[in-house]
Amino acid sequence: MAHVSVRKVDIAFGTVSVLDQLDLDVQPGEFVVLLGPSGCGKSTLLNAIAGLLDVNRGQIWIGGRNVTWAEPKDRGIAMVFQTYALYPQMTVRENMAFGLKIAGLPRLEIENRVREAAAILQLKPLMTRKPAELSGGQRQRVAIGRALVREASVFLFDEPLSNLDAQLRNELRVEIKRLHQRLGATMIYVTHDQIEALTLADRIAVMKDRRIQQFSTPEKLYQQPANRFVAGFVGSPAMNFQAGVMERADGGMRFRSGAFELPVDVMAHTGTEVELGMRPEHILVGESEGQDEGGMPATVEMVEPMGAETLVWTSVAGLPFSVRVDQRRRLSVGQKVSLRFPSQEIHLFDRETGARL
């Protein structure tokens, strides 16, 4: 269990800056997920924490020690790679024991640790096999086992599950979660899978454009996205966005885009160009036009069944909105409905800066 702190770190490849003045503070025993689109620098940050990549500026602290110049093996970390990175010509047992052998641990100690990790990960029957003779899920388990035996205080995972099929992914996800509860170690986990992020994380750091956009709990991320990017990136199906302007009307504020008007609680200057954000699951669908007080008339344009729910594409005053409804709700194309936008679920973002209003 150790505190991990990344302080004002810059990393560039040649002239291309990848991380810029990045700060990240991970509490001891915390499970933090780095989430972000491809190429935003998640692996780069993880490699920097591991010591596999030098930083151009800034410091990295692990467990109260400045490890900016320390070798990976001296940082008290263990790492699991997306490509498994098992040594092909070593057996499962040798793979797991390799690091311990180099560290010069006594044979008995090595055997004990390997046996224990194998028991936790159910690798016992596979110990004498080579990686080529294992399935993808088994390989990833061995890779986790190899990290486990190091008894590190910080575990780093770089998209460990992205090469696996959906079912194995679910299984191993649960296994990793259980492992975290059992070990209590600090874990930093890279993914671009939202489900993984939301289910595993104590806190999620959403990255984009060389920076961390928001670092908070999954609930906060979902309920109060700090900016337009986070709002669009987190949540599935994605949030609806409509560009418009703020207006003052009968003592309150109003969002307007063409014929579409909506009273909002947010205070802003009249004429501010904003973007309205509304999650599909927060829009309420009334029976039909007129009957529903305060509803806006809408037309159903497309229906996408998604299992437990149905995504309904509607048009309100010429603007498209997707709405999530229970699959038992039977709606057909062309049908007139009324939509309500609860004001506590409305998000507004400055169109220029993208910041939440």
Partner 1 sequence: MTARQMVPDGPRPTAFGPARLGIYGFLVVSAVFFLMPLYVMIVTSLKPMEEIRHGALFAWPANPTLAPWIEAWSSACTGLKCEGLKVGFANSVFITVPSAVLAITIGMVNGYALSLWRLRWSSLLFGALLMGAFIPYQVLFFPLVRMLAAIGFFGNLAGIVTVQVIFSLPVMTLLFRNYYASLPYDLFKAARVDGAGFWRTWRSVMLPLSGPMIVVALILKVTNTWNDYVLGLVFAGHRYLPMTVELNNIVNTTHGEREYNMEMAATLLTALVPLAIYFVSGRWFVRGIAAGAVKG
Binding site for Mg ion (CB under 5 A): 43
Using CA atoms, how far residue 92 sits from 81, 102, 134, in Å, is: 16, 16, 9
Please, which of residues 169-228 interact with ligand ATP by CB under 6 A? 192
* Count of positions on this chain that bind partner 1 (CB under 8 A): 23
Nearer to ligand ATP, 41 or 225 (CB): 41
Nearer to ligand ATP, 39 or 290 (CB): 39
> Is there a contact between 277 and 269 (Cβ–Cβ < 8 Å)?
no
Of 326, 319, 9, 43, residue with least CA distance to 162: 43
Please, which of residues 97-156 interact with partner 1 by CB under 8 A? 98-99, 102-103, 146
Nearer to Mg ion, 43 or 216 (CB): 43
- Given phi > 0 = left and psi -120 to 50 = alpha, else beta, which region is 203? beta
Binding mask 204-233 for partner 1 (x = CB under 8 A): ------------------------------
Cβ-proximal residue to Mg ion, closest one:
43
Nearer to ligand ATP, 22 or 96 (CB): 22
State the binding partner of 229 from Mg ion, partner 1, ligand ATP, none, CB within 5 to 8 A by kind. none
Minimum distance from residue 172 beta carbon to ligand ATP (Å)? 18
Number of Cα atoms under 13 Å in the Cβ half of residue 62: 27
Instruction: Pick the piece of the chain touching partner 1 (CB under 8 A) from 81-89, 298-306, 313-321, 329-337.
Output: 81-89
Minimum distance from residue 233 beta carbon to ligand ATP (Å)? 13
Binding mask 72-111 for ligand ATP (x = CB under 6 A): ----------------------------------------
Among 14, 15, 64, 88, binds partner 1 (CB under 8 A): 88
139 binds ligand ATP (CB under 6 A): no
C-alpha–C-alpha distance, residues 162 and 172, integer Å = 11
List CB contacts of 179: < 8 A, sequence separation 6 or more. 120, 144, 148
351 binds ligand ATP (CB under 6 A): no
Minimum distance from residue 12 beta carbon to Mg ion (Å)? 17
Nearer to ligand ATP, 41 or 76 (CB): 41
Among 81, 155, 189, 229, binds partner 1 (CB under 8 A): 81
Minimum distance from residue 81 beta carbon to partner 1 (Å)? 4
Nearer to ligand ATP, 39 or 258 (CB): 39
Please, which of residues 35-74 interact with ligand ATP by CB under 6 A? 36, 38-44
Binding mask 17-56 for partner 1 (x = CB under 8 A): ------------------------------x--x-x----
Contact positions toward ligand ATP, by CB under 6 A?
13, 16, 18, 36, 38-44, 192
Residues in the site for partner 1, rule: CB under 8 A?
Answer: 47, 50, 52, 71-73, 77-79, 81-89, 98-99, 102-103, 146
